[in-house]
Amino acid sequence: MLSVIARRLSLSLATLLALAVFIFAATEIMPGDALDVILSSDEIASIPPERLAQMKRDLGLDRPALERLGSFLLNAVQGDFGRTLISKTPVADIIAYPMRNSLALALLVIAIAFPLAILVGIIGACWHRTPTDHVLATATIVGYSIPEFVIGTLLVLGFAVALPWFSATITVDTRAPVLELLKVSALPVATIVIGSVAYLSRILRVGMIEALSADNIERLRMTGVPPWRVVFRHALPSAVIPCLTAMALYAAALVSGLVVVELVFSIPGLGQELVRGVVRREVHVVQAIALACAVIVVTLNLAADLAVLALDPRARSQ
C-alpha cells in the first residue's frame, strides 16, 4: 500500500513538473511582450535600439529562455511567482483574492451539484427504463450539451431582464467578503450547477444501474432488506467508487473552467485576472494562474486515486 502511494505521489510530482515546463513554453510563444503594452508602435519605432535594449534588460526580457525556465521552476517551488513587469506588484498579491473568489464559487457549486447529481442518478437508476428515467435522461443530455455561456445568457434574459429578480452582472469588489460575493452569485452558480448535475448524474446513473443489477444486491432484495437500505447502504457506495476519479477531475476543472462564466457575469475571479494578464502580456501572472490550476487538478486527481485505493480492495490487490 505504501509503495503504491509513493508511486502515485512520484507520478503526480512528475506530472506537475511536465505541466510547469509546458506552461512556461506556452507563455513563451505568446506574441509580443510587456513593451508592446507600455509603448505604442510609433514609440517603439522612434526609440534608439540601445535604449530599447536597455528597457528589455530592465524588464528581464533579454535573459535566455533556459535561464528564465530555471528561475521559474525554482521560484514556483518556493511559492514565489515574481512581480509584474509593468507595475512591479507581487504576482501573489494580484491573484490572491481572485483565487479566493473562484475557489469559494467552485466550492459552493460542488456543495450544491454533487448531492443533486447523486439524487438524480439514483432516481434514474431506480426507475430505469420508465418515463421518469426518460425525462431525466433527456434533461441531462440537454443540460450537458448546451455551453455554459449559452445557459448563462438564457438565465440573464429570463431572471435579470424579463423577470428582474437577480442582477445580470456582479458588481462586488474583488476584496469584498466571500459571503457578500456569494449572496449575489445566484445566476452564475445556477449556470454551472446545471451543467455539473447533468454530467455527474449521467456518470452515477450508469454506475448505479450496474450496481443494482449485481448478484449480491439481488440476494439482499430476496432476503427482505428494505429498498432504501439496499440503494443507499450497498448499491450507492459500489457505484460511487468508480466515479470518484471523474468527480475529482470535474471538481478540479470547475476552478480552471470558471473563466467563461466569470466573464459572462463579471465575477472578480481568476478568469478576469487571466484575461487581463494575457492582454497586458503579464507573463508571470498567466504562469502563476495556469500553474495554480494545474496544482489543483493534479492534487484532486491524486486524492481520488488514494480514495479509490482506500475504499476498493480490488484496486489495492491490483
Q: Dihedrals φ, ψ of 90, to 5°?
A: -55, 130
pLDDT at residue number 163: 82
Give yes or no for residue 267 having a pLDDT over 60. Answer: yes
Q: How many CB atoms lie within 10 A of CB 66?
A: 8
Position 289 confidence tier, pLDDT thresholds 50, 70, 90: confident
Q: How far is CA 262 from the centre of its chain?
A: 12
Q: What tens digit of pLDDT does each residue of 68-92 get? A: 788 888 888 887 777 777 677 888 8
**Per-residue pLDDT at 301:** 79
pLDDT for residue 287:
85
Q: What is the mean pLDDT of residues 59-67?
A: 70
Strand partners, 3: none
**What is the pLDDT, as a whole number, of residue 315?**
56
257 — pLDDT class (breaks 50, 70, 90) = low
Domain 91-317 homologous superfamily, CATH: MetI-like (1.10.3720.10)
Task: Give start-end residues of each CATH 1.10.3720.10 domain in the chain.
Answer: 91-317
d(CA 245, CA 90): 35
Give the per-residue pLDDT at 42: 59
Is residue 107 scored above 80 in pLDDT? yes
Among 55-59, 149-153, 175-179, 295-299, name the one with the lowest average pLDDT.
Answer: 55-59
Higher pLDDT, 310 or 109: 109
Q: Distance (Å, rounded) from C-alpha 62 to C-alpha 59?
A: 8
Q: Does the pLDDT value for residue 40 go beyond 60?
A: no
What pLDDT score was predicted for residue 176? 84
Confidence of residue 160 (pLDDT cuts 50, 70, 90): confident
> What digits encode the pLDDT tens for the residues 3-28?
777 888 888 889 888 988 888 888 77
Query: Is the pLDDT confidence value at 316 over 60?
Result: no
Please tell me the least confidently modeled range out of 18-27, 78-87, 110-119, 293-302: 78-87
- Contact between residue 265 and residue 152 where contact means Cβ atoms under 8 Å apart: yes
Tell me the C-alpha distance between 271 and 151, whole Å: 18
Q: pLDDT grade, residue 314 (50/70/90)?
A: low
Distance between CA 240 and CA 127 in Å, rounded? 18
pLDDT value of residue 279:
77
Average pLDDT, the chain: 80
pLDDT in tens, 193-248: 888 888 888 888 888 888 888 888 878 788 878 888 888 887 888 777 777 777 77
